Amino acid sequence: MSEQASLVAIVHGRVQGVFFRAFVKDHAKALGLTGYVKNKSGGRSVEVRAEGEKEKLEELLDYLRAGPSRSKVDRVDVEWSVFKGRFQGFSVNY
């Protein structure tokens, strides 16, 4: 069985108002990950909390660094932790 992990990623740049959350949700669901994505206050960052296979989480990070075509990602801060299994599905939180 693949190693399970959790991460919190804060994506900085032009990531609000460019369909970034929908982009993250679609890719996370396709990768079989659970968690959520939400805008952070200030208008220049998005928070992603995700759990699942570490390899799939690393793939998600690649998508976060690239972003959808209308976005401009300046940086992604990542914090890894042990898998907790606290999410069901992947959602956009408000």
Residues annotated as catalytic are 21, 39
Amino acid at 67: G
Q: Using alpha carbons, list the distances in angstroms from residue 4 to 11, 38, 51, 67, 80.
A: 22, 22, 7, 24, 11
Rounded Cα distance between 6 and 42, Å, is: 25
**What φ, ψ does residue 81 adopt, rounded to 5°?**
-150, 175
